[in-house]
Amino acid sequence: MDAEPDRLVSADTGGPEERVIEAALRPKKLDDFIGQERVREQLSLVLHSALRRGRTPDHVLLSGGPGLGKTTLAMIIAAELGRPLRISSGPAIERAGDLAAVLSTLAEGEVLFLDEIHRMARPAEEMLYVAMEDFRVDVVVGKGPGATAIPLDIAPFTLVGATTRAGMLPGPLRDRFGFTAHMDFYEPAELEVIIKRSARLLDVVISDEAAAEVAGRSRGTPRIANRLLRRVRDYAEVRADGVVDLELARAALRLYEVDDRGLDRLDRAVLESLMRKFGGGPVGLSTLAVSVGEEPETVEVVAEPFLVRQGLLARTPRGRVATPAAWAHLGIAPPPSAPMADSAGTLFALEDDDDLPGK
């Protein structure tokens, strides 16, 4: 049971219509890409240096959370080089033969984008080592003692790998990338610029205050910002005159259960269950997940990273614990014996209600 595709604040790609709209909103050039200034500057040097030398650029690894623009940057890299882009993903490459089929059909200088590269099968991963370094694949013919490896040269290409879990990449694979970039979450001011740009492309009239309100609830993620903008637009078209002002934006986001810090129904359910049913913790992940009717992986991967980043939940050796900020945000009074944890996961006792933020 995975609630992620149905969540408005999900950073995963939605259905076909959503993907078409998101593709239309993607910037096409590096100069038009908003945010990630250091990454953009570094990547620009890598690409333009290769173009001047007439060489294929080094392989590029992009890491960071979903929805931060890794796929967009891969498309921009191909566009800046004037080369075709081939798109695949780690989970789609189950065998070494799958990878060999892709690599053997690449044209010289083509850009290959592998999303979620850390989920690639081990045999394919080992074949990729040689392909990235020597532009060669070894095709095994036959089985058992009589099997023979036939080296097959492939055209020089640029691999752009994307991962949400860089720590799961084996060292030998990570070391073969000539340029590695980590993409950070966006500041509200950057998201506001993105929202205004998307509003122009979607012919949405939105005030500066409304754009700032949507940006502040977008969890630091451009994809979520664009999705919230489209839902606010829908609300404005159906229940108003189509113009998005501050009050209308707040009303729309309230309807969609996205609060002023970007928490949605699942986020609040996790926190409320932790507080009301378990006295603030510590409680194990599986127990907490059952209490909200979700799979442990959904809570751990979907809700927890944002709650931890917001300082509302802490992971401790004894289990999940609500922070003082969580009690204050939901307006729930903690029991006198409630354990507390700071953002680093250090447990401490709450001596007085005055210790709560805002008291």
Query: Where are the alpha helices (H) located in the chain, listed in sequence order?
Result: 16-25, 37-53, 70-81, 96-103, 122-134, 171-174, 188-201, 208-216, 222-239, 246-255, 265-276, 285-291, 296-298, 304-309, 324-330
For residue 205, give the 3-state DSSP assignment.
strand
Amino acid identity, residue 183?
M
Amino acid identity, residue 82?
G
What span, in angstroms and rounded, lies between the C-alpha atoms of 34 and 28?
11
What span, in angstroms and rounded, lies between the C-alpha atoms of 359 and 179?
48
Q: Is the peptide bond before 335 cis (omega within 30 degrees of 0)?
A: no
Catalytically annotated residues: 70-71, 115, 164, 223
CB 181 within 8 A of CB 62: yes
What span, in angstroms and rounded, lies between the C-alpha atoms of 73 and 87?
13
b (16+ CB within 10 A) / e for 279-312: ebbbbeeeebbebbebeeebbbebbbebbbebeb
Q: Please return the burial class of 74, using the count of CB atoms within 10 Å of its CB with bins 0-12, 13-18 and 19+.
A: buried
DSSP secondary-structure letter at 12? S
Q: How many CB atoms lie within 10 A of CB 19?
A: 11
User: In degrees, to the nearest 5, what angle opens at C-alpha 313 toward C-alphas 307 and 314?
Assistant: 125
Structure tokens at 259: 């609060």
